[in-house]
């Protein structure tokens, strides 16, 4: 894929300018609300403060077979964890506004940081590198872990910090955390809010999707014990969630979002 001239190559800890497409300064004062649309699998659209970001658009197939293809052509920035088709399809993406390599990039006053990690449990030999994306959106530290299966190391945890909002893959398979591995990552990062991703829904072609359902994660004994002790809150949501920075508390919360594009009758099966 050809790299646009304004999007200079960046190594971890350096900054590349995206000034050619920056449309003015964006500050917390412009809007304190973050709207999150769940488009399926690991794909989300984040809107707020005059900035729109899409993460991981996909081409329908396998775990995403029944979802419509996301359209990222009208967003300010698209970030992808890899160029695999279930999390980095570029059919409907403005490539001039696409971040697909690790590094640090500046768009207006928003800093995007891509942190590399092996995509699989074999040091990336099967699926290459997964990029974790981190940015601040209307005062909230957003971290999208992509679909990686490798454990977080000290350096990666230090770069990530403590997320206000963590997009956490939980469905297992060859290139994503199993439910238990996801719980380990969750314990390490101590996020305020978690949205589970990368699990099997009724939109999947079950014969071509190796992900487990959401229930495999929710039924983990440790999570159930935390809920019973009042140390964790689990909330059901629609395909759109609205958050504000001042509403984030110390008690961790898991939001179960229903991906957009599913039949309404499938909602309970997604959350079960």
pLDDT tens digits, residue range 164-177? 999 999 999 999 99
**pTM, 2 dp:** 0.87
Q: For residue 1, what pLDDT band results from cuts at 50, 70 and 90?
A: low
Structural domains in the chain plus CATH codes: 15-19+33-271 (3.60.15.10)
- Indicate whether 135 pLDDT > 80: yes
- Indicate whether 121 pLDDT > 80: yes
pLDDT at 263: 60
pLDDT tens digits, residue range 76-110? 999 999 999 999 999 999 999 999 999 999 999 99
pLDDT tens digits, residue range 243-267? 998 878 889 999 999 999 876 544 4
- Indicate whether 143 pLDDT > 60: yes
pLDDT at 266: 47
Q: How far apart are CA 201 and CA 239, in angstroms?
A: 13
SS3 of the chain: CCCCCCCCCCCCCCEEECCCCCCCCCCHHHCCEEEEEEEECCEEEEEECCEEEEECCCCCCHHHCCCCCCCCCCCCEEECCCCCCCCCCCCCCCHHHEECCCEEEEECCEEEEEEEEECCCCCCCCCCEEEEEEEEECCEEEEECCCCCCCCCHHHHHHHCCCCEEEEECCCCCCCCCHHHHHHHHHHHCCCEEEEECCECCCCCHHHCCCCEHHHHHCCHHHHHHHHCCCCEEEEECCEEEEEHHHCCCCCEEEEECCCCCCHHHHHHHHC
């Amino acid at each position: 894929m050809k790299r646009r001239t304004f999007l200079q190559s960046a190594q971890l800890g350096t900054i590349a300018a995206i000034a050619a497409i920056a449309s003015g300064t964006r500050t917390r004062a412009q809007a304190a609300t973050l709207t999150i649309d769940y488009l399926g699998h690991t794909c989300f659209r984040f809107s707020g403060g005059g900035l729109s970001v899409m993460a991981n658009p996909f081409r329908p197939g396998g775990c995403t077979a029944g979802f419509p293809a996301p359209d990222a052509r009208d967003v300010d920035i698209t970030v992808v964890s890899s160029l695999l088709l279930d999390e980095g399809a570029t059919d409907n993406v403005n490539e001039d506004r696409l971040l697909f390599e690790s590094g640090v990039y500046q768009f207006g006053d928003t800093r995007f940081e891509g942190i590399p990690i092996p995509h699989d449990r074999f040091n990336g030999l099967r699926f290459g590198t997964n990029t974790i994306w981190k940015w601040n959106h209307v005062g909230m530290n957003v971290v999208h872990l992509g679909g990686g299966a490798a454990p977080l190391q000290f350096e990666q945890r230090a770069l990530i910090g403590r997320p206000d909002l963590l997009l956490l893959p939980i469905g297992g398979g060859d290139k994503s955390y199993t439910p238990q591995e996801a719980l380990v990552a969750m314990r390490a990062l101590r996020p305020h809010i978690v949205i589970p991703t990368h699990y099997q829904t009724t939109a999947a072609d079950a014969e071509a999707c190796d992900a487990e359902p959401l229930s495999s994660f929710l039924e983990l004994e440790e999570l159930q014990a935390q809920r019973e002790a009042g140390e964790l809150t689990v909330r059901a949501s629609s395909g759109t969630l609205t958050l504000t920075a001042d509403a984030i508390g110390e008690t961790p919360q898991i939001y179960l979002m229903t991906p957009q594009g599913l039949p309404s009758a499938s909602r309970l099966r997604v959350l079960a």
